[in-house]
Chain A
Amino acid sequence: MVLKAEALSKRLVIKAYHIEKLTLAQETAFKGSTLDLQEKHLSRYISDQPLVSNIEVGILNPGQLQKDVPAVLDVIPIACKALGNLGEGITHVLTGVCAVLTLADTSGKPPAQIGSSAGLLSEKMLTDRAGTPAKSDRIILVQVTLKEGAVYKRQGIMAAHRAADSYLQTIRDQLKNRDSQAYTEKHVYEDQLEPGKTDVLLIKLLPGQGAMHDFLVLPKEPCGVAGSRSIIDLGNMPVFLTPNEYRDGALRALT
Chain B
Amino acid sequence: MGIGPSTKETTKHHFKDPLMELLGEDNDCRPAGVIVAGIAANYESKEFVIRRLGTWVSALKPDGVLVSMDSWGNSHLDFNLLLEQLSSLKIPAVGLCFEGVQAEPVTLNSSQSKVIDINKSADGRETEVLGENNINSQDARKALAMLKLLKKKQL
A residues lining the B interface (CB < 8 Å): 1-3, 8, 71-72, 74-77, 79, 98, 111-117, 123-127, 129-133, 189, 193-194, 197-215, 217, 222-223, 231-232, 234-243, 245-247, 249-255
Contacts and interface: CB of A to CB of B under 8 A. Distances in A.
Report the interface size class on chain B.
35 or more
B151 to A, nearest CB: 7
Contact of B52 (A111, A238, A242): A238
Interface of B: 1-6, 8-20, 23-24, 28-41, 45, 49, 52-53, 56-57, 59-71, 75, 78-79, 82, 126, 128-132, 134-137, 144, 147-148, 151
Given A2-B59, A114-B3, A213-B2, 11 more contacts: A75-B12, A75-B13, A115-B5, A130-B135, A130-B136, A199-B29, A199-B63, A202-B65, A243-B33, A253-B9, A253-B13
Given A200-B32, A205-B75, A189 B24 contact: yes
Nearest to B91: A201
A237 B60 contact: no
Among B4, B15, B45, B53, residue most surrounded by chain A Cβ atoms (within 10 Å): B15
Given A201-B66, A222-B15, A253-B14, A246 B8 contact: no
Given A194-B30, A198-B64, A236-B39, A205 B8 contact: no
Nearest to B37: A238
B41, B126, B136 interface centre (most CB from chain A within 10 Å): B41
The 6 closest A-B CB pairs, nearest first, are: A208-B38, A236-B38, A131-B13, A212-B2, A129-B131, A201-B62
Contact of A117 (B12, B13, B130): B130
14 contacts: A1-B63, A75-B130, A79-B15, A200-B30, A200-B32, A205-B68, A209-B40, A213-B2, A213-B39, A231-B37, A235-B45, A236-B39, A237-B49, A246-B17
A193 B4 CA distance: 38
B25 to A, nearest CB: 11
